[in-house]
């Protein structure tokens, strides 16, 4: 059973960005990635232990989530901060919701989108280079970046704005072993303990960049994950977000 579920779940996240940020499918790679200024470059080159962790608040009608952005993924961290300060995410929808899997948002086309509109292909016009870290994985509450599928995106670059927050559910150690064999990876003791108790989506590890985690408001994920959705997994009642930096 797991052998069929894992590819299907991978396709679900692919589908969310299957048409991608419309400017990223033809243009050369240099135009697809974030341009980092010299000042920003200096910041990302600082020792990680010297950098203060950034906390963002994602507010919804179901409550607030506080999310810690990882310093180990500076490109994704800085991009999320930049978009948040610009107000990019305000009034966007959680446009794709799947119970026991994830809640997804960040498509600019979702702002004031009509009921029934197909969402999931919008973005800011660039992608972010993948930043996979073995110690950053898809536990419940993880913040990760959506992306295009491998056949058009072999470097696994992330969408410039679309993200998802992992819901997931506990997985048995036997299932983890099976997933690891299929993916050619070995789960660490920490991952095994986390996935078998807290839960998550282990079949996405090292395929999508994890760049943060919910540190407060986990119950909000649970509330959003069970709302009624249409055939495209869009909530029947819009769930808007407001995103801000916590000083």
- Chain segment 102-125, per-residue pLDDT in tens: 999 999 999 999 998 999 999 999
Question: What's the confidence (pLDDT) of residue 10?
Answer: 52
Question: What's the confidence (pLDDT) of residue 37?
Answer: 34
Q: What percent of the chain has pLDDT over 90?
A: 78
> Residue 55: which of 224, 214, 240 has the closest Cα?
214
The span from the CA of 124 to the CA of 108, in Å, is 8
Per residue in 147-157, pLDDT (tens digit) is 999 999 999 99
In the chain, what are the domains? Answer: 2-14+52-112+119-246 (2.40.100.10)
Question: What's the confidence (pLDDT) of residue 1?
Answer: 43
* Cβ contact 139:167 at 8 Å: no
Average pLDDT value for residue range 30-40: 34
DSSP H or E run through 15: helix 2-16
Q: Is the pLDDT of residue 18 over 70?
A: no
216, with CB counted inside 10 A (0-12, 13-18, 19+), is middle
Per residue in 60-87, pLDDT (tens digit) is 999 999 999 999 999 999 999 999 999 9
* Cβ contact 178:2 at 8 Å: yes
Q: Is the pLDDT of residue 132 over 60?
A: yes
* Cβ contact 97:227 at 8 Å: yes
> CA of 36: how far to CAs of 30, 40, 43, 157, 211, in Å?
12, 6, 10, 16, 18
């Amino acid at each position: 059973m797991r052998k069929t579920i894992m590819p299907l779940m991978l396709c679900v996240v692919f589908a969310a960005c299957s048409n991608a940020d419309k400017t990223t499918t033809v243009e050369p790679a240099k135009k697809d990635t974030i341009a980092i200024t010299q000042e920003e470059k200096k910041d990302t080159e600082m020792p990680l232990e010297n950098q203060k962790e950034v906390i963002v608040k994602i507010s919804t009608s179901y409550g607030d989530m506080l999310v810690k952005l990882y310093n180990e993924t500076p490109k994704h961290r800085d991009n999320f901060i930049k978009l948040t300060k610009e107000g990019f995410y305000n009034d966007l929808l959680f446009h794709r919701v799947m119970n026991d899997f994830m809640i997804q948002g960040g498509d600019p086309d979702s702002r004031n989108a009509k009921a029934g509109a197909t969402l999931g292909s919008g973005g800011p016009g660039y992608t972010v280079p993948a930043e996979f870290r073995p110690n950053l994985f898809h536990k419940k509450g993880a913040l990760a970046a959506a992306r295009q599928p491998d056949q058009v995106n072999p470097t696994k670059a992330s969408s410039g704005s679309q993200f998802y927050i992992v819901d997931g559910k506990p997985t048995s150690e036997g299932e983890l072993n099976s997933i690891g064999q299929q993916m050619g990876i070995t789960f660490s003791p920490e991952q095994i303990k986390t996935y078998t108790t807290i839960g998550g989506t282990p079949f996405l590890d090292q395929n999508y960049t994890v760049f943060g985690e919910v540190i407060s408001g986990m119950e909000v994920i649970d509330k959003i994950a069970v709302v009624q959705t249409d055939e495209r997994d869009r909530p029947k009642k819009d769930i808007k977000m407001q995103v801000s930096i916590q000083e």
